[in-house]
Copies of this chain bind each other. A is one copy, B any other.
Amino acid sequence: MATTYFSKRNLHFLLHEVFKAEELTKYDYFSAHDRETFNLVIDSATYIADTLMHPYLKDVDRNQPELKNGQVTVHPKIKEYLKAMGEAGLIGAGFPFEHGGQQLPEMISSTVGFIVMAANNGMMYTGLTSGAAHLITSFGSPELSETYVPNLLAGIWQGTMALTEPQAGSSLSDVTTSATPQPDGSYKIKGQKVFISAGDHDAAENIIHLMLARIDGAPKGTKGISLFVVPKYRPDGLIDNDVTSTGVYHKMGQKGVPAMHLTMGSNDNTIGYLVGQPHQGLPYMFQMMNEARIGVGMTAAAIATAAYYAALEYAKERPQSRRLNQKNQLDAPQTPIINHPDVRRMLLFQKAVTEGALSLLLEAARLYDISEVAEGEEKENAFLLLDLLMPVAKSYPSEMGVQSVSQSLQTFGGYGFTEDFPVEQLYRDIRITPIYEGTTGIQAQDLLGRKMTMKGGKAPQLLFAEISKTIADASTHADLKPYADQLTAELKRTQEVMASLMPYAQQGDIERYLSDATLFLDLFGIVVVAWQWLKQAVVAKQALLTQNPQSDELAFYEGKIHTMKFYFHYEVPKTLGLAVRLKDPEVLTIVTEKELAL
């Protein structure tokens, strides 16, 4: 088992040196905190991760949840972990004091998510609970909050997000679960939900579903969907609420978390409680979506990080062959494989992807915080930027994370494919992240179809202005200037691509406008992460110039600049081919009358 699964040094670098998390404490809402309390929370999460999670990584994978006699049994350590997270205040880390939370910034609570997911992503329970509880505190009545939130944040009850139905995966407008008003103001719920993560298990005393359903007579499509609290047991006396566990999916990875098929109202006796106003379910859900997608991105970045450190450790220890210029020195000992350029390239790729992804996610979390607590233009701009970055902050870590873990596995050679090392599991686990909370294809449509054009394209303008600041900072250092110039050229390329696509949108041919949206997302992701790397390199450069760091610290900062260079030399050139295709007028993926043999 790998001993390291994330780098606290890198977390501190990003939180404190790059993003200056402490600056958030100037806002009233976060004023109870300082750098020290932030670090204490991180240490507390690390302790739980080290002691209650990481040691059980494989064990949780090997003992997947089973449904027997209507009851789902999960690994016994899950209960301990839920309780510890609740007691440490980590489930409610981001909640206001009034709800029993720690009122910490999303930057810190999402960092907690990163640490625990790097330790053991099969224990993905508490993020779901936080999300569900947050829906209640944000949009529900005070009574709903009082009834549900304390036990949720204590880790005694489990929260879920119950959106997907068998006939409505990515298409929420086709949700059919029904809600019939009752005289007492509650609703009877009838329908089915699938893929409900942590949707039933024995580590929690109750399961609280935040569920989308359609009130009888509601308008069609997304405008007629409402949000309900649907508990497994009704809180008044823990009476069974007729939510049946119809099945548990057996999955390729993330086996520790049951994905449930649930049936509501088999005995016409499932009660739901409306959250907020009728027909506002989707807007409510979407207001939580940024937070949920930061969570998925963090999970992906965390899994890839754990795999990277496992591969790095192996590459430093495993001797194999001799260096290529000493191939014939057969008496010489074999060299550790990290000394082979191809292995080093694979490791630098993993470092570039994982630390780049984490940086982007913390950028998103910082914008989330500002959009929550700032006012006026600052608030609005942060929100626009966050909204623009979100599709890529969810999909870059997951799509590139999949590739990164694949390279971690390859670093081990044949051993990577065996259960002797953790990478095969992480390779399976991470593959769900490009599907969770909106597939990559959906993210791409969101980015190009909505975020790039909303408010007359104001969001990309703001982003380009932010990136230009980093370019200006970098340009003051002679050795960073070539990379600043390269990023300037990439911004221009992105604008050219947009200019060539816009006419389709203006003509109303949305299908054509979006037909290669996923490639645009890829392009945009490379550029945005290049920005994150340049930003990190500027901070590292300043540290080298002003702090005279030695040994490990020197290597850390120089490693940052080196990895930035790697990213610009190896990853950024991929935009060339993407831009050629995106500007290419030939249509090949839109259905025509002519049926092709696919």
Which residues of A does B touch, CB under 8 Å? 164, 167-171, 173-174, 194-195, 220-221, 249-253, 259, 312, 319-321, 323-325, 327-328, 330-331, 334, 338-345, 347-348, 351, 402, 406, 409-410, 413-414, 416-420, 424-425, 427-428, 431-432, 434-435, 439-441, 444-445, 508-511, 514-518, 552, 555-556, 558-559, 562, 565-566, 569-570, 573-578, 580-581, 584, 586, 588-591, 594-598
Contact = CB atoms under 8 A, between A and B. Distances in A.
B515 A342 contact: yes
A439 B419 contact: no
A312 B173 contact: no
B321 A170 contact: yes
Contacts of A511: 323-325, 341
A14 to B, nearest CB: 14
A250 B414 CA distance: 12
B598 A338 contact: yes
A508 B569 CA distance: 24
A64 B511 CA distance: 46
Contacts of A576: 573, 576-577, 580
Contacts of A508: 325
A406 B431 contact: yes
Contacts of A169: 320, 413-414
Nearest to A402: B406
B518 A596 contact: no
A573 B569 CA distance: 18
B580 A565 contact: no
Given A252-B428, A253-B417, A409-B431, A510 B588 contact: no
Given A417-B432, A570-B581, 18 more contacts: A167-B334, A173-B321, A173-B330, A250-B418, A252-B428, A323-B591, A325-B511, A340-B441, A341-B590, A342-B445, A342-B517, A345-B516, A345-B589, A406-B431, A410-B434, A559-B596, A566-B588, A576-B576
Contact of A171 (B321, B338, B575, B596): B321
B414 A435 contact: yes
Contacts of A427: 252, 431
Contacts of A168: 320
Contacts of A330: 173, 220-221
A321 B174 CA distance: 8
A325 B516 CA distance: 15
B439 A413 contact: yes
Contacts of A589: 341-342, 344-345, 348, 566
A586 B564 CA distance: 13
Nearest to A560: B597
A314 to B, nearest CB: 12
A510 B171 contact: no
A343 B440 CA distance: 11
A295 B533 CA distance: 42
A316 to B, nearest CB: 9
Contact of A435 (B323, B413, B517): B413
Nearest to A252: B424
B410 A439 contact: yes
Nearest to A335: B591
Nearest to A439: B413
A597 B174 contact: no
A516 B596 CA distance: 39
Contacts of A249: 418-420
A555 B251 contact: no
Contact of A510 (B324, B334, B417, B509): B324
B171 A515 contact: no
A509 to B, nearest CB: 7
Contact of A509 (B325, B327, B419): B325
Contacts of A343: 441
Nearest to A510: B324
Contacts of A174: 321, 334
Contacts of A517: 342
Contacts of A171: 320-321, 334
Contacts of A432: 414, 417
A425 B581 CA distance: 32
B565 A586 contact: yes
A413 B580 CA distance: 28
B348 A588 contact: yes
8 contacts: A174-B334, A250-B418, A253-B417, A338-B598, A342-B515, A414-B432, A555-B595, A574-B574
Nearest to A551: B595
A517 B343 CA distance: 12
Contacts of A558: 594, 596-597
What are the 7 closest A-B residue pairs judged by CB atoms, nearest first? A573-B577, A559-B597, A341-B515, A171-B321, A252-B424, A576-B576, A555-B597
Contacts of A510: 324-325, 327
Nearest to A331: B220
A322 to B, nearest CB: 8
Contacts of A509: 325
A325 B419 CA distance: 48
Nearest to A436: B414
Contacts of A598: 312, 338, 344, 347-348, 351, 559
